[in-house]
Chains A and B, each alone.
Chain A
Amino acid sequence: MGKNILKLISLALAVMLTLTGCSVSGGDAKESSSGSQEKTVIEYWHINSESVGGAAVEQLIADFNASNDHIEVVGRYNPEEYKGLMQNLQAEQAAGNSPAIVQVGWTYLNYFSNNFEYTSPQEIINKYSPEDKDFLNENFLPNIMELAVNSNGEQVGIPYSLSTPVLFYNADLLKEAGLPEKGPETWEEVIQFARQIKDKTGKYGFYTREGPDSWTQQALIESNGGKMITIENGNTRASFASEAGIEAFQVYADMVLKDKSAIHASWDEGFQAFLNGQVAMLHTTIAFMANIEKTAQFDVRAVSSPVWEGKERVVPAGGCFLAITAKDADAQKAAWEFEKYLYSVESMAAWTKGTGYVPPRKDVIEAENGLKTYVKEHDMFNAAASQMDGVASWASFPGDSGLQAEQMLIDVRDQILSGSVGVREGLSQTQNNINALMEK
C-alpha cells in the first residue's frame, strides 16, 4: 500500500518535471509554427507594470497580433524600471541574444548607444519600407526627436513615452488644513503648505519620488537654475553641486529632517501612503495619472511641477524612446511594422489613456480619433501637457560609468535625507567622485 503511494507520487513528479521542461523550451522558441504560415516572432521589452500602463501595453500587443497574420509580438515585462531593463538587456546580450524592440529610458541614452548594438530608425525605414521615409519628419517635432539623439549626434531611436513630473495632491487634506484648493504653484508654497498640513492634520505634507534614479531631484535642482551636467570644452562634467543645486536640495532636506513635513521613504511606501490619504502632495511622473485616478478614494488633483519664485520651470523628460535591437532582416522589418502601428494616432491615444504619458507625436492631442475628448475629461492631464515648453533632457552620464554615476546619486540622496551627511558636503563629494570616474 505505502509503496504504491510512493510510486504514484514519483510518477506524478516525473510527469510534472517533463511538463515544466516542455513549457520552458516552448517559451524560448523564436519561430512559432502554429498555422500554415511561419510567423516572425519578435520580442518587445517594456517596463510597464500593472501600475504604469501594463494593461495598455498588453492590449496594444494583442490588437496588433490580431490585426496581422505574419508577425507575432511577445511582450516582456522588466521589473525595476529602465535601470532593470538595461541590466536584463546586458545579461541577455552576454548570453548572445537580443530582443527586437526595447524601451530605453532617457537617462540611459548614452549608456545604451555606447554598449549595445542597435539600428537607427531612419536606416531601417529606408531599407525595408521606403514609402515611409518621411514618417519621422512629418509626424514629430524636431526638438522632441532630439531627445533621442546621443552625444555623437546619432538618432538612436524614436521618442515613445514622454512624461514630466507634476504635483498630485489630495484636495480634501488641503481643505482640512485650511489651504486653497487650487494647490501650490511654487516650491516656497509647497514648503509652507506641507508645514501647515503637518500642523493641522498630523499627516505628512509632501513626498517626492525616490525611485531607482534621481529624476525628480533633477526637476528640483534645475528649476532653481542648477544643472545636473554641463559640457566644458567637449567634456561632460557633473555640476549639480553648484550653489543653486545645493540651495534647492537643502530646502528639500530641511523639509524631511527639520520640519518633518516631508517623508523619506521608498517609492512603494510613499506611493501607497499617498493613495491611502496619509500624504497630501506627491511629486512624481504624470505616468501614474491613470492609476492614481482609479485608486484614490479622495478628491485628487494635479498641478504642474512647482517653480521657484521668479525662476523658470525646468522639467526633465521622463519615459523612454524605442530602439530597434533586432539583428536579422526579418526581425528588423517586423520591428518597424510594429513600431509604425505603435506610433499611429489611435495607438498613441490609447497609450496616453492607459498611462498619462504626453504623446510625442504631433496632432494626437487635437485629433478627433486622438485625445480631443479625453483632454476635456481629464483635468490632471493638462498639468503635464501645459508644461511641455520647460522640458529638458534627462541627465544622462556618458560612458561605461553611467550606471555607477546614477547609483552614486541614489546613495547620496539616502545619506543626505537620513541626516548622515550635510547637503553641501554630500553633493560636492559625489560630484567629485562622478567626475573622477568619468575621467578614468
Chain B
Amino acid sequence: MNRISLKKQNGDNGRAYLYILPSLLVFAIFMFWPLFRTIYLSFFDWNMIKPDKKFVGFENYIELFQNPLTYKILGNTAAYILILLVINFVVPYILSFILSMMIKKGQNFYKGIIFLPSVISLVVGSILYMWILNPISGPLAIIAQVFGVTLPVWSKSEGLALVVLSLITSWKVFGYNFIVVLAGVTGVSQEVIEAARIDDVPMHKVFWDIILPMSSATGLYVFIITIVQGLQYVFTPIKVVTQGGPNYASSNLIYHSYHEAFVLYRTGMSSAFSIITLVLFILLLIIGFKLVEKGVYYEN
C-alpha cells in the first residue's frame, strides 16, 4: 500500500518535472546562462571580437569602485528612482482616488485618455518630446518667448536633463500604473467608505486611513514595478536624447552598462557593472519587501 503510493508519487513528480521543463528551458537559456556568462566575463578584459580574453581577476571591480563616475551614476539612479516614484506612484494614487471618489461622470473617458500614451513606442515619444521641448526653436520655447522667458538648454544641463528624461519616461509609464492603481482603489469595499462618509470623516483621512491600507497589495505591486520597470524604460530616452550626457549627468546604472559594453566595448567593465546593479537591486527589493510586506492587506 505504502509502496504503491510512493511509486505513484514518483510518477507524478516525473510528470510534474516534464511540465516544468519548457519554461525551465526558456529560463535557463535566456536568464541563467546569460547571468553566469556575465559573471564569468566580469573577470576578463575583452572587447567582444578579440580571440583571446585577458583574465584580470577582480581588477574590473576594483577599478569600478575607485572610479568617481560610478558614484555619480549611483546618485543619478537614486534620483531617477525618487522622481519616478513621485510621478508614477504617488500621483496616480491621488489621481485615482479623485477619479473613483469624486468624479462621477465620464470616468471611462479619463481612463482612456490617461492610458493612451502607454501604447505609443517610447522611441517615438522621445523624438516627439525632443522636438516639442527644443529649447531654442520648439513650440514650448516659442510660447515661453512670448512671455519673455528663455528656456534653459535642458539636454546639456546637469540635473535638468535627468528631470526631463524622467518626464518623458513617465508619459509612457503613468497610464499603466494609473489603471492598475485605480483598480485597486475602486476595489475597496463601498460599505466602509459609506460608513466613513456618514461619520463625516474628511476626504484626506478617508484616503490615508481607509483607501491606502486597503489597497496596499496593489500599491506594493505598483511600487515595485515603478522602481524596476521605470529604470528600464528610462534607458530609451537616455539613448535617444542625451546618450547619458552631458558628462554622464543623465546616465543610470542600466544605461551605463550598455555604454561600457556597446559604445566603448569594454565587456569586462560592463559585466562587472551589471553584477553590481543586480546585487544592489536584490538588496533594495529585499529591504522593500521586509519593510512594506508586513503592513500589506490581502483581501483573500
Interface of A toward B, CB cutoff 8 Å? 83, 87, 90-91, 93-94, 115-116, 204, 212, 263-266, 268-270, 272-273, 275-279, 400, 403-404, 407, 410-411, 414-415, 417-418, 420
For A272, list chain B residues within 8 Å (CB). 131, 134, 136-138
A407 touches B156 (CB 8 A): no
Q: Is the CB of B262 within 8 A of A91?
A: yes
Residue in B closest to A277 when the chains form the complex, CB atoms? B137
Is B170 in the interface zone, CB < 8 Å from A? Answer: no
**What 15 new A-B contacts, CB under 8 Å, besides A265-B136, A268-B134, A273-B134?**
A87-B262, A90-B48, A93-B48, A115-B50, A204-B136, A263-B136, A264-B153, A272-B131, A272-B137, A275-B137, A276-B136, A276-B137, A278-B136, A278-B137, A404-B264
Closest to A117 in B: B49
Please state if B156 and A403 are interface contacts (CB–CB under 8 Å): no
What chain A residues lie within 8 Å of B157 (beta carbons)? 418
In the complex, B42 has a CB within 8 A of chain A:
no
Q: Can you offer 25 A-B residue contacts whose CB atoms are under 8 A?
A: A83-B263, A87-B262, A91-B262, A93-B49, A115-B47, A115-B49, A115-B50, A204-B136, A263-B136, A265-B136, A266-B155, A266-B245, A269-B130, A269-B153, A269-B155, A277-B137, A278-B137, A403-B263, A403-B265, A407-B264, A411-B248, A414-B245, A414-B246, A420-B158, A420-B247
B153 touches A265 (CB 8 A): yes
Question: How many cross-chain pairs have Cβ atoms below 8 Å apart between A and B?
Answer: 85
B271 adjacent to chain A (CB < 8 Å): no
Contact (Cβ within 8 A) A414 B243: no
Q: Quick one: which of B231-257 are within 8 Å of A by CB?
A: 241-243, 245-248
Describe A's contact surface by its main secondary structure: helix
Does B117 have its Cβ within 8 Å of any Cβ on chain A?
no
* Residue B213 is within 8 A (CB to CB) of chain A in the complex: no
CA distance A94 to B243 in the complex (A): 23
Question: Helix, strand, loop or mixed for chain B's interface?
Answer: loop
B135 interface contact, C-beta 8 A: yes
Contacts of B156 in A (CB 8 A): 264-266, 414, 417-418
A212 partner, pick from B243, B247, B266, beta carbons under 8 A: B243
- What is the minimal beta-carbon distance from B31 to any residue of chain A, in angstroms? 20
A-B pairs with lowest CB-CB distance, top 7: A273-B136, A414-B246, A276-B137, A94-B48, A414-B247, A273-B137, A278-B137
Contacts of B48 in A (CB 8 A): 90-91, 93-94
Cα separation A275 to B264 with both chains bound (whole Å): 33
Contact flag A415-B153 (CB < 8 Å), given A265-B136, A407-B264: no
| CA of A63 to CA of B157, assembled, Å | 46
Contact B130 A279 (CB under 8 A): no
Contacts A91-B262, A417-B156 hold; do A269 and B49 have CB atoms under 8 A apart?
A: no
